[in-house]
Copies of this chain bind each other. A is one copy, B any other.
Amino acid sequence: MLDKTDTHLEALLRRRKPGYSLEAPFYTDPDIFASDLDLIFGRHWIYVGVEPDVAEPGDAMVIDIGKTSVIITRNDDNEVRAFHNVCRHRGARVLQDYKTSVGNLVCRYHAWTYDLDGKLLFAEHMGKDFDAGCHGLKPVHIRSLEGLLFICLSDDPPADFDDMAARMAPYLAPHDLKNAKVAFESELIEPGNWKLVMENNRECYHCAGNHPELTVPLFAYGFGFAPEELDDMGRLEAQRYADLVKASHGEWESCGFPSQMIEHLDDMVTGFRTERLPLDGAGESHTGDTRAACRKLLGAINDPRHGALHFWTQPNSWHHFMSDHVVTFSAIPLDAERTLVRTKWLVHKDAVEGVDYDIANLTAVWQATNVQDAELVGLCQEGARSPAYEPGPYSPHTEMLVEKFCNWYVGRMRAQGAR
């Protein structure tokens, strides 16, 4: 039976076997989950949404991470701000709805009233000795990377966010996310630990057998393969795919779309990966017919054939930037065995629903894929509960990035002094 003393987690981290999935407690133990929330989600940059979620001053969005509830809002100077969603009087949650629009932030209980910078403007009956200046909403660190919003719950956020931002901004800028709008969003509770959700996202070994919709726009040779298993025809197609990637990179970069792979998944605190890759068929978008789902393209893009730029961040996000739309995913741990995945589809803010795009067509591929992935994650969670589970080997050809996710996780836990 699991020895849950503090040294246990430390021992589990220390004896992690490279190239193999994690030991079961990492997926099932509520104490390790609490450490994950504290050391990973409490001390790193967590992707939570996009600037278009709070497009106008007074727009507000509530994000819950573990037991922490955060208000993200836009102040009257058009700056995005974040605060703890806890009244400084008797601690009531200030905002309840996921998204609202407000003038000030008013607590319902006794009407304490805060402005959009968190300052306490008004509190009745508190007497002469009360100092309103000490009772503003507590701020939370927030950063926008070309419209992607990251918060950090720690007082001392990782500094290398700036390095990532400097490298990534040129890749994202052409898609002009700040001038996009959320056309649709979905919430899906996947029945597994957040790390199983991330591992599932970090490989496409499972795609051929499970994602009939997603494998239409994606090239199978992009998933990785064991070279020795290829026949002559396979070798030819693999080479053809490699050539296409190289040619596309050259073409796109020459017209201002950075495309080359950058990968710091396990050698930065704010780990990330990006690459722009060609798509199959018409080559335009993650849609059922591989064509753009939105007639009005993003930013100043005028050719729909720019493939798909993927952008991943540790510990909890992945994004696909295409010429016509962006799909963006944030994974939020709920408990040791459940994870919320929020997916948003964004199009140009001037695109008109029913004219320029159709929601069903825009969202079909990833709505289906998310549900398929949730089921797979659930199978692994059920397996991890069994005493018969033991870490299994990752494929050296298709699961290298799962391995890097685990490396990052184990490294960050140890760096934070997990015990």
Contacts and interface: CB of A to CB of B under 8 A. Distances in A.
A184 interface: no
A359 interface: no
Contacts of A397: 125, 127
B226 A68 contact: no
Contacts of A379: 92-93, 96, 108-109
Contact of A126 (B91, B93, B226): B226
Nearest to A376: B109
Given A138-B388, A209-B111, A395-B127, A383 B91 contact: yes
Contacts of A125: 205, 224-226, 229, 395, 397-398
B85 A386 contact: yes
A206 interface: yes
Given A86-B389, A110-B205, A383 B93 contact: yes
Contacts of A370: none
Residue among A21, A34, A89 with max Cβ neighbours from chain B (10 Å): A89
Contacts of A389: 86, 91
Nearest to A27: B91
B386 A68 contact: yes
A10 to B, nearest CB: 15
A135 B394 CA distance: 13
A272 to B, nearest CB: 24
A234 interface: no
Interface string A77-117: 00000001111111111001000000000001111000000
A396 B233 CA distance: 81
A59 to B, nearest CB: 21
A20 B73 CA distance: 29
Given A92-B376, A109-B376, A392-B135, A86 B383 contact: yes
A135 B390 CA distance: 11
Contacts of A267: none
Contacts of A38: 1
A67 interface: yes
Interface string A362-386: 0000000000000010011011111
Contacts of A384: 91
A396 B127 contact: yes
Number of copies: 3
A392 B110 contact: no
Contacts of A376: 92, 108-109
B124 A229 contact: yes
A228 interface: yes
A92 to B, nearest CB: 4
A158 interface: no
Nearest to A89: B392
Contacts of A88: 390, 392
Contacts of A85: 383, 386
Interface string A196-239: 00010000011001100000000000001110110000000000
A128 interface: yes
B90 A130 contact: no
Contacts of A67: 385-387
Contact of A68 (B24, B86, B387): B387
A199 B393 contact: no
Contact of A206 (B24, B110, B391): B110
Contacts of A407: none
A179 interface: no
11 contacts: A21-B90, A21-B91, A89-B392, A91-B384, A91-B389, A111-B209, A125-B205, A125-B397, A125-B398, A128-B228, A135-B393
Interface of A: 1, 21, 24, 34, 38, 67-69, 84-93, 96, 108-111, 124-128, 130, 135, 138, 199, 205-206, 209-210, 224-226, 228-229, 376, 379-380, 382-398
